[in-house]
């Protein structure tokens, strides 16, 4: 499905992400963990083509390393950035329309399908995105990514600053979406409970490199204390 081969990313000076390699198959819900500032967001931005990478990236047997962000999204890569970047001045419906723009989907049908996962949004379709609560905005950001019918979905800290019952709701939505659509997930997370509930595999980053990886069962308290100090 996707092979990340020896990827390095820098902002000019030394590399922030160095020599990272991993593979994602359709069954995967890969959780990426690491302390603040280790390069998790930088890695996702490199995969999405927002930042230039060294190394190579294969997706569905195609070398997409030289592709722009919009070419990558046309290939089916989708990304929900850290900090729920919705369009605050557009309505919920307009935000969802933006998610369908680059993809030839029938808007009304796709909207109905996506709203099944997010019943809360149906109550707010004509309201501006910016007036929604944080948890609702995060659901809108994820719903917008679903609108594009992605083949692989990356989410950067979807539970950051979200209350516990909405965190478990988001976990259920992502689990169901993965089961029904067979879309692999790559989720950057700090919330261990959420990570263990959602993920099937994990990797831990320290100073831009992978220091631990394996099936989620191996994400023991010992491992988390050692690498994450939690
Ligand atoms: N635009 C930028 N220019 C220069 N350095 C940057 C830029 N963005 C991030 N960095 C640096 O790169 C490093 C990794 O940042 P990154 O945002 O990838 O970390 P992260 O693991 O996602 O952290 P967090 O858990 O806080 O989101 C940090 O030291 C950060 O200061
Ligand atoms: Mg980050």
| pLDDT at site 108 | 87
State residue 119's pLDDT score: 94
Q: What's 57's domain CATH number?
A: 3.40.50.300
| Partner residues linked to 20 by β-bridges | 7
Ligand 1 proximity of 215 Cβ (cutoff 6 Å): no
Residues in the chain: 230
pLDDT tops 60 at residue 230: no
Which single residue is written with the structure tokens 């050692």? 226
For residues 214 and 23, what is the distance between their CA atoms, to the nearest angstrom? 12
CB neighbour class for 138 (10 Å; exposed up to 12, middle 13-18, buried from 19): buried
What's the gap between Cα 117 and its chain centre? Answer: 17
Segment 100-152, tens digit of pLDDT: 876 666 888 899 999 999 999 999 999 999 999 999 999 999 999 999 999 99
Residue 41, ligand 1, Cβ within 6 A: yes
- Please, which pLDDT band fits residue 39 given cuts at 50, 70 and 90? very high
Of 16, 43, 9, which Cα lies nearest the Cα of 203?
43
Domain extent, residue 113, equals 2-228
Q: Would you state the pLDDT for residue 100?
A: 85
For ligand 1, whether the C-beta of 16 sits within 6 Å is yes
Count up the domains in the chain and report the number: 1
Structure confidence at residue 105 (pLDDT): 67
pLDDT the model gives residue 229? 84
Residue 104: CB within 6 Å of ligand 1? Answer: no
Ligand in nearest proximity to the CA of 18: 1
Q: What is the separation of C-alpha 162 from the centre of its chain, rounded to a whole number of angstroms?
A: 16
- For ligand 1, atom 5, which residue shows the shortest CA distance? 11
Which whole number is the average pLDDT over 190-200? 94
Residue 190 has pLDDT above 80, yes or no: yes
Strand 29-33 to strand 201-206: parallel, antiparallel, or no bridges (unpaired)? Answer: parallel
Report whether 149 contacts 107 (CB < 8 A): no
Question: What does the pLDDT read at residue 52?
Answer: 94
Average pLDDT over residues 153-173: 94
């Amino acid at each position: 499905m996707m092979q990340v081969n020896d990827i390095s990313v820098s902002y000019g000076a030394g590399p922030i992400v160095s020599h990272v390699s991993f593979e994602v198959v359709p069954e995967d819900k890969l959780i990426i963990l690491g302390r603040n500032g280790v390069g998790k967001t930088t890695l996702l931005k490199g995969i999405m083509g927002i930042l230039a990478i060294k190394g190579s990236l294969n997706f569905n047997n195609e070398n997409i390393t030289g592709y722009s962000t919009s070419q990558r999204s046309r290939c089916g890569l989708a990304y929900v950035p850290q900090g729920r970047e919705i369009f605050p001045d557009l309505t919920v419906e307009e935000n969802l329309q933006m998610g369908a723009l680059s993809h030839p989907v029938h808007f009304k049908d796709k909207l109905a399908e996506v709203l099944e996962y997010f019943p809360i949004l149906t109550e707010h379709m004509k309201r501006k995105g910016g007036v929604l609560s944080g948890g609702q905005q995060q659901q809108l950001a994820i719903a917008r990514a679903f609108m594009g019918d992605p083949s692989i979905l990356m989410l950067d800290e979807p539970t950051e600053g979200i209350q516990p019952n909405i965190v478990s709701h988001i976990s259920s939505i992502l689990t169901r979406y993965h089961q029904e659509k067979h879309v692999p997930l790559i989720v950057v997370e700090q919330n261990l409970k959420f990570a263990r509930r959602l993920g099937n595999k994990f990797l831990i980053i320290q100073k831009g490199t992978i220091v631990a990886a394996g099936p989620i069962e191996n994400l023991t308290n010992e491992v988390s204390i050692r690498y994450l100090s939690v």
